Amino acid sequence: MSSGRRVAVTGTGLVTPLGNGVEANWRGVLAGKTGVERHESAGRPEYLRFFGQVQGLERPNDIPSRLAGQVRFLNRGSVLGYEAAAQAMKSSNVDLSNVPGERRSLFLASGDLTKVGCEFMHPALQDAAKQAGKGMDYYAFNKSVMNKVNPFFLLESISNNLFSFLSAAFGLMGPNTSLASLSPCGAQALELAARKISTGEADIALAVGCGCWISEIPMYEMDGLGILSRCGNGPASFKPLDRARDGFIPGEGGAAMLLEDYEMAESRGARILAEIKGYGNCIEFPQGKGLSVPEQISKNSIMAALEEGAVDANELAFICPHGSGTRKGDRSELNSMSKIMGDPRNGVPVCALKAYTGHMGAASDICEVILGIEAVNEGVVPGTLNFSETEAAFEEMKISASTREAAGRSFVSVSYGIIGQCSSVLVEGRAL
């Protein structure tokens, strides 16, 4: 960061449809694989049967014995988020006994939508509506709720479902909060965690993003917004930045990063993966009426991150845009990047990563930073999966479906959400 203490990345964790663990995910990216598949889902139209689902993880591993009885309250996104957080803590090799609890921060970004449809209420609602044409029988409804509805549904439904569990598991008693602003909140959690290190309010900070967007009601809601792909070409239909894009395919996952005071990390001999150098957090509005996608949604946030980190755009190894694959969203990002780069033929390579896992909401924000760190540390720019060609106005931009050599050690990762919230992070890798 431009002032204050330096912020090191010493631990990372990933649980996605592409694999369990950072190494499995990174090797999947290099191999050009995707975790998006067709699933048998009775009653759904064909295009809603494609999504990214984590396999083989029904409950977290390595739960402290004192919390074993609380696992049943975790929703699906929280299970994935906890597993990623545990991986990040373990990979950092930090000795928590050397860090007071009040110097350990937690910032959680959640996007679990599994309870949005209130399926837990369906048995009671069915009992209350058995007599067709007579409306709801509220006496029958209340009686059925007492016998058929899990009384802990509220705990499973709240956006900070994982927060207390994670705090207790690792004794994270310092500055903290939970966020639920959908797509950008993972990047925002990462920014808040980094700033607590930079200002000296914490010595370590765990940033976690988790989400599940693959249950039925959320998928219908997103489809109603017109942002999902019609999946005419199966998993390959998720085509970020491509001229034939028609929306994204959702997924589920968890991602986590442990940040640490750089000097402290060095003094304990930590394996430093990267350094957080700058952030930009902005909101953009379109001209005229309505709240559609603005013309250059990410320009200001990218420029703010570069300014804070004192890095010129031409020094970047690559930019990783949000890349949701929507018509307007990707065009706005391409506009933003072209303005920053100037002549695109001399510009920075661009890679969008969501097609590897499906759009995981808050988890995607942090996942893409982790994959970006892996990339710059290996000296490569990841390919944009399923990409063929972009629109004519951006055909000179350096976008490729295949991995290529990178020039530079820094990259910017961008995340934005509906109605214009946009967050960018500037990261500098460490050759390993």
144 to 138, 154, 187: CA distances (angstroms): 10, 17, 42
In a domain, 143, yes or no: no
In a domain, 149, yes or no: no
In a domain, 421, yes or no: yes
Partner residues linked to 256 by β-bridges: 13, 208
pLDDT at position 289, please?
Answer: 66
Q: How many domains would you assign to the chain?
A: 1
pLDDT at position 161, please?
Answer: 83
pLDDT at position 3, please?
Answer: 63
Tokens 């009384």 sit on residue: 151
In sequence order, the 6+-apart residues with CB closer than 8 A to the CB of 62 are: 86
pLDDT at position 255, please?
Answer: 98
Kindly give the parts of the chain with pLDDT less than 50.
none
Bridge pairing between strands 421-429 and 19-20: unpaired
Indicate which CATH number applies to the domain containing 190. Answer: 3.40.47.10
b (16+ CB within 10 A) / e for 9-26:
bbbbbbbbbbbbbbeebb
In a domain, 2, yes or no: no
Nearest to 382 by CA among 323, 320, 333: 320
Distance separating alpha carbons of residues 283 and 86, to the nearest angstrom: 33
In a domain, 159, yes or no: yes
In a domain, 138, yes or no: no
pLDDT at position 338, please?
Answer: 92
Tokens 């959680």 sit on residue: 108
b (16+ CB within 10 A) / e for 365-403:
bbbbbbbbbbbbbbebbbbbbbbeebeeebeebbbeeeb
Tell me the residue range of the domain where 20 lies.
7-116+154-429
pLDDT at position 118, please?
Answer: 64
pLDDT at position 432, please?
Answer: 60
Nearest to 82 by CA among 348, 363, 372, 297: 363
In a domain, 137, yes or no: no
Could you tell me the two tokens for 421? 């919230």
Could you tell me the two tokens for 36? 């998006």
Burial of 37 (0-12, 13-18, 19+ CB in 10 A): middle
Name the maximum alpha-carbon separation found in the chain.
Answer: 73
In a domain, 140, yes or no: no
